[in-house]
Amino acid sequence: MLREAHVLNWLAGRLHVPEVVLTAENAGGEYMITRCVPGEPLSARIEARQPVLELFIKALRQVQAVPVTNCPFDASASFRLRELEYLLANGLIAEEYDLNQWPGLDTPQDLLARLHGTLPCEELVFVHGDPGDSNVFVDARDEPYFIDLGRGGLADRWMDVAFVHRNLREEVSKGVAAEFLDALGQLDAPAKREFFEQLDELF
């Protein structure tokens, strides 16, 4: 929680994020209070069957446009892999996961080995880390606001792309997800997208 507070404070003036009001910690954990962001989450637009493709694209471009000079937050694939190793070693992985979507993966240890073997070279930008439809809000003018930035930091640009693509594929349609990739204006990197989806599966 304190890491997220530091990320939000660093992003103030760089991106529309909640203002941190108070942080605290004790033996029971870490705590943070923020002000609300305006608008509604993109999930509400999806539930109302309203278009969200352009909103996701706008949000992603704003995040990736954050200047990374002196950014102190590591969110790279190798950093996330170390987190995953810790979770596995301490029995803290997600209780529900689906490895059947990727042939040849039967156990979390199989997935970890696959990830180590396919670790990509990264083109670092600022990433949100979890830019799903519940973490991106839009106001009445369709201006994006972002919450839940505990995973924010420097990572490969395809991390956030992979998560937005998965969100659209699962919650809207495969066709809209394909349109999203086409709208990026760059050659697709399906191997990287798969890597980041696999990396996220056990969290």
Active site residues: 130
Taking phi first (over 0 means left), then psi (-120 to 50 degrees means alpha), and beta for anything else, what does residue 16 get? Answer: beta
Q: End-to-end CA distance of the chain, in Å?
A: 16
Q: Answer whether 137's CB lies under 8 Å from 144's CB.
A: yes
- Can you spell out the DSSP letters for 147-179? ---TT-EEEEHHHHHHHHHHHHHHHT-HHHHHH
- The label of the residue with tokens 């694939």 reads 77
- What is the DSSP-derived secondary structure letter of residue 74? B
Q: Is the dihedral of CA 145, 58, 128, 115 positive or negative?
A: positive
Which tokens sit at 99? 């490895």
Task: Write out the H or E segment, with its range, that includes residue 138.
Answer: strand 136-138
- Other C-beta atoms closer than 10 Å to the C-beta of 82 total 12
| Closest-CA residue to 160 (of 118, 202, 128) | 128
